Structure formats: structure tokens, C-alpha cells
Structure 1
Amino acid sequence: MRAREIMSRPVVRAAPDTPVREAIALLTGHGIAALPVVDDDNQVVGLFTEADALSGVLTGAPVGPDLRVDSVMTKLVEVVGLDTDVSDIAARMPVDRLRSVPVVDDGDLVGIVSRRDLLRPLVRHDDAITSQVRSLFSDYTGHRDLWSVSVAGGLVTVCGNFSDEDERRLVTALAKTVEGVTAVELVRPAAAFGVDLEEE
């Protein structure tokens, strides 16, 4: 797998003269760990990270309106190409303490690979749905494990006992709130081997 297949884009970025306050707002507002800093030619000249932002706070530097990104950014930035193997990127991150790496094409910024991007392919879509549905059910039941959940191709199968029709409808509605769910089937435990299936 190559960087082009997992990178995030479009890239939230900053310019060297972006005020640090604005850059911090971009980091927190987009929930990201780093902003590539690019010049007028879209060339990466630095990386403004959470650590860069925090270093100013911890050293007592005033984060006033005149403090610019280029005065605190990390200047020695590792970049990768579109065809860099994902395993190479993953190997660099812990060694160099990187949380994200800009992706360039002929020097132009075209994407960014974060640790989250590297992890995403390891989780199948159905696994993500299963996790979210289980979390919803856990919240609803007060963290009691009442039903088992399996997902195949977006079809959610819930096996367990339901107190009444209202609860069946509620369980179905909860599962359907998860993005990617195509249908919900409720199965009683005795029916787990092929009988008494209820599709919603």
C-alpha cells in the first residue's frame, strides 16, 4: 500500500506568516496534530505541531497577535512521495516521534499521512460498525452485556432477548443511527441457528 492510498486530503495548512493563535485554532478546530507550513509555491517549509504550540506556552512566550508560525514551527520536516510504501512511513513515525508526515508530488504538498491514517486500513468497515453499535447498546443498557452483535456487509445481526416490541424497535433504531448500516436483524438466542429471524 502506498501513501497516495491512505493520505488525507485536502490538507489543512498554514503559511509562514500565519499568526500562531490562528494556527492553534486550526489544530484544535480540525482535531489534527500538525499543520504543514507552505510557501507561496506550495512547497513545504515547516510543520507546526501541537508540541510547537505547547512549547511556547510552557516557556512562557507570549502568544500575542504578532507571533508568527515561522518563529516556532519545526523547520526540518520529513516529507514522503505519493508512492512511498506505508510500511516505510510507519517505521519512521515511532523512531522520529512523528505524528504526521506531509506527502508531496514534485515538491508540491498534496496530502498528509497521520498515525490515524496508518491505522484505518487495519480496521474493516464492518468491524468499525460493530464497535459503534456495541457502544450504543452498552450506553443504553447501563453497560450490561444483553445482546451479541455481528456485522457482515453492513447487515447488523443482534442476538438476545428483548423485553417487548418497543425495545425491539428501539434496538433497531439505535443500530440504524450508525453510518454504514444497511439493515438490522434481531435474533432470539434459540433462533441463532436459523429459525425465528426478525428483519427490520
Structure 2
Amino acid sequence: MVVFSMYIINKAGGLIYQRDFGKYAKFVKTEKENAERLQQDPTAPIPPNEYDGKFVKPSGNQYLTLASTFHGLHAISKELIPPHARTQPEEENGGIEVLDADTFKIYCYSTPTGTKFFYLFDAKKFSNDGVSTMEECCKWVYQCYVDFVMKNPFYELEMPIKCSLFDEHLDKYIGNLNSTLKKSN
């Protein structure tokens, strides 16, 4: 299992943090590279998110759209659970936890405050212990979020996260996790 990217969504459905990791963050085509390609041959059609078989890094608006779509799906799926099937009615249970696709999986970690952390990771390298690894990863990232973001006196709730300590710890942890999991698979 390799973590491609992570998103943090506030309780209103707004994207407050997004980060790409590893090879996915470094080797995708950017809009600048696409513009250079169009200058060479302006008549060549380019699919919206693909260029020469490599995916284009999504724009900021595409990240926002993805996050708000996931928030809506999560909210709808929460309502599909009958009230008598909920184990703890006072707690916000339900919603999407794992979403499987052919090439990736989405894992969602919901906090008691309504903030959602969701991760995109490689389905091809997913092992049987991948879910427990993702749970551990989510708990660790949530603890970093609490320590470096929520305890930051300059951070305003529900606003985009701009915290270099959080970024550094997250990059280091996910980088180590990705390299460890690549070796074990």
C-alpha cells in the first residue's frame, strides 16, 4: 500500500488541507508542462487530466470539487444507516470508511468534531493488514493535527491549514510509511 494523497475536510465540507506524497507528487504533469506541450502543437487534443499517458496534477478547483463530492457522499451514506442499527446513537457513526476501486482505495477517518481525513492509496499494493495500517496512520496523523494545528494559537478553526511543523512531520511519517510498505510488498 502506498499513500498517494491526503485530504482534510472541515465539518461544513470545505477542503482545509491537501497533500500529495511520494512519486505521485513528483512525477505528475503540471499545467505548466501541458501549456508547453500546447505551444509545440496547439491542435493536438489533450484529455482533461491526461497527457502522454501520465496524469496531470489536478488544479486547486479540482481538489475542492473532489473534497466536496466526498463530503456529500459521506453525509448521504451516513443517513442510510437505520437508527436502530447504530451502536452508539450519541456518537456520529456511519458514513464511508473504505471505498474500493480498481486502481486506488479511499480510506476515511472521521473525528468526533466532524472533521474528516481521507486518504487515497494504491489498491494494487494493498495487503490484508492494509486497513489496520491505515487506521494506525490515521490515528497518528490525527494526533499530529491536534498537536501542531489545533494547539497552534495562530490557527483559526475551519480555515485552511498552513503549518510548517505539521507538513514536516506528515511528510516524514508518510514517506517512511510508503518506503516501509513498498519494501514489505
Which category of TM-score, normalised to the shorter sequence, fits these structures?
Answer: under 0.3
User: What TM-score, normalized by structure 2, do the two folds share?
Assistant: 0.25
Of Structure 1 and Structure 2, the greater helix share is in 2
Q: Which structure has the larger Rg over C-alpha atoms?
A: 1
Q: Which has the higher contact order (CA 8 A, sep 6+)?
A: 2
